[in-house]
Amino acid sequence: MADKLTFSQEISNLMYEGHGSPLKNCIQCGTCSGTCPAVEFMDQTPRRLIGMINADLKDDVLNANTSWVCASCYHCTVRCPAKIDIAGAMYATKRYSMWNKTYSDDLVGPVFSETFMKTIVRSGRSYEPILAPTYIFGFGAKEFYQEVLGATKMMLKGRIPVLPPRIKRIKNFRNMIRHIIPMGDEE
């Protein structure tokens, strides 16, 4: 019987890229953390997260908000002296959390991502009025009002459609993405 994959192997397997070095090549230099514009909002720095993945500290990695706070700017990936795709590892960690339902309930990111994916699978297009409820209620009253006002103005000017758009040949589209992501009930 094949050996069970370790957590670090599972995360590595979820990194779809053909480029970049293995996560095990990390030398813990801290360049990724030093260059990250979002590090102050993270529970664990990118350097620590990569170290924790390599140490198979699965629960600690999944309990950290780090990958959900990552802005996907790729600064870390570009600057890593070991040529590790750290941003790709952040995506892989998010995929693992989503597919295994291991994310913390107080995070906005997983709900937003799930709603986004469902919207895309159903219609082939993103639609902001469906996405907005996943994060807008976390705003203060003033920001909430400004968001609603801005969205209403854009809708009146035709920048946001009143009804959700839907692409032609949606079944073909779904058949295509079925090969990439688990579709669950969305088929």
Contacts to ligand SF4 by CB under 6 A: 26-32, 35-38, 46-47, 50, 70-76, 80-82, 84, 86-87, 90
Complex with ligand SF4: residue 54 or 119, whichever CB lies closer: 54
CA dist 142 and 165 (Å) reads 29
Complex with ligand SF4: residue 32 or 61, whichever CB lies closer: 32
Complex with ligand SF4: residue 31 or 113, whichever CB lies closer: 31
Complex with ligand SF4: residue 28 or 172, whichever CB lies closer: 28
Q: How far is CA 178 from the centre of its chain?
A: 18
| Min CB(91)–ligand SF4 separation in Å | 9
| Min CB(58)–ligand SF4 separation in Å | 18
| Min CB(104)–ligand SF4 separation in Å | 18
CA dist 136 and 68 (Å) reads 17
| Min CB(18)–ligand SF4 separation in Å | 18
Read off the amino acid at residue 135: Y
Complex with ligand SF4: residue 80 or 121, whichever CB lies closer: 80
| Min CB(88)–ligand SF4 separation in Å | 9
